[in-house]
Amino acid sequence: MLENKTGIVFGVANQRSLAWSITESLASAGAELAVTYQDTRFEKKIKKMAGESLEKEPLTILCDVTDEKQVDRLTQTLENSFGKLDFMVHSIAFAGKEELEGAFINTSRDGFLKAMEISAYSLVSLSRALLPLLKEGGSIVTLTYLGSSRVIPNYNVMGVAKAALEAIVRYLASDLGPRRIRVNALSPGPVNTLSARGIKGFTGFLEQVDQKTALGQNISGREVGDTALFLCSDLSRGITGEVIYVDAGYNIMGL
Ligand code: NAP
């Protein structure tokens, strides 16, 4: 489905990362890929994982989205290695641990700005940086969460950042539509990842949601990966500016 297509997935920390499940789905469809990681401590493990578990080894690139030099270097590497891009997946979020517990009203100014910069604004800056490579149109996909529109205990500032991210998806979709570049968000249900475990009470939450989904169980990373594959492929060519839930139907339930 993605033969002769090239793309990049931002945000691999480890094997549990949604970015990694997405990478597996995209790679299984034949895409040529680059993946990014932010923490040099994870570098060796990620390179090993990339070399061992995928048929075609992806490029692995260090990229802290708050560092313009690293973003410039990444763009150059992609230009030199691929020459063009067909899709980009943004699977990045951050909020300080202290912001992900207790009352939202106590959100600090610094904590608010950092969460917004990394979790929302980075979609704008990365889309702009990679735009010259999306030469033949393409697909941009980001990951949001239901906490953007409903109050989820302890999700706090991240819910506000996700609301901004979803608005960014609509504005970018309108800006980039004339270039045949589509922009959409996936909204997965809870999955046990490094970031998710940083939210106070996450494990209990996972169990609660499990019983309340329409499908009667939580989702897996690969279900998110396969929906990302659909959004990166031409099968979704008529869809842009949308938030697509991959939550086993949790968001439609009343009680
Ligand atoms: P994850 O594995 O921890 O991925 C989050 C990634 O963001 C990590 O690779 C992290 O890198 C990266 N990141 C943080 N700050 C960064 C920076 N300054 N520059 C570049 N990368 C940075 O957790 P995940 O659950 O897969 O999260 C991926 C996305 O899915 C996030 O947008 C999250 O909000 C969303 N999502 C997750 C769930 C869930 O339940 N897991 C549900 C809905 C939506 P380091 O670890 O190296 O800092």
Instruction: Give the model confidence (pLDDT) of 145-190 as tens digits.
Output: 999 999 999 999 999 999 999 999 999 999 999 999 999 999 999 9
Question: Which of 38-47, 136-145, 229-238 has the lowest average pLDDT?
Answer: 38-47
pLDDT (tens digit per residue) in 85-127: 999 999 999 999 999 999 999 999 999 999 999 999 999 999 9
- What integer pLDDT is reported at residue 55 of this predicted model? 83
Which residue in the block uniquely carries the two structure tokens 């539509």?
Answer: 177
In this structure, are residues 228 and 144 in contact, taking their beta carbons and an 8 Å threshold? no
In tens, the pLDDT along 10-49 reads 999 999 999 999 999 999 999 999 999 998 898 899 989 9
Is the Cβ atom of 71 under 6 angstroms away from ligand 1?
A: no
* Ligand 1 neighbourhood includes 12 CB (under 6 angstroms): yes
Asked whether 145 lines ligand 1 (CB < 6 A), one says: yes
Question: Is the CB of residue 49 less than 8 Å from the CB of residue 20?
Answer: yes
CATH architecture of 6-245: 3-Layer(aba) Sandwich (3.40)
Predicted structure pTM score: 0.98
Ligand 1 proximity of 92 Cβ (cutoff 6 Å):
yes
Counting from 1 in the atom list of ligand 1, the atom nearest the Cα of 90 is 32
What are the tokens at 119?
């979790």
Looking from the CA of 153 toward its CB, the CA atoms found within 13 Å total 10
Quote the CA–CA distance of 111 and 99 in Å, as a whole number. Answer: 7
**Residues with a known catalytic role:** 145, 155
Inter-CA distances, 82 with 7, 8, 128, 198, 217, Å: 9, 10, 18, 35, 40
Q: How far is the CA of 85 from the centre of ligand 1 (A)?
A: 22
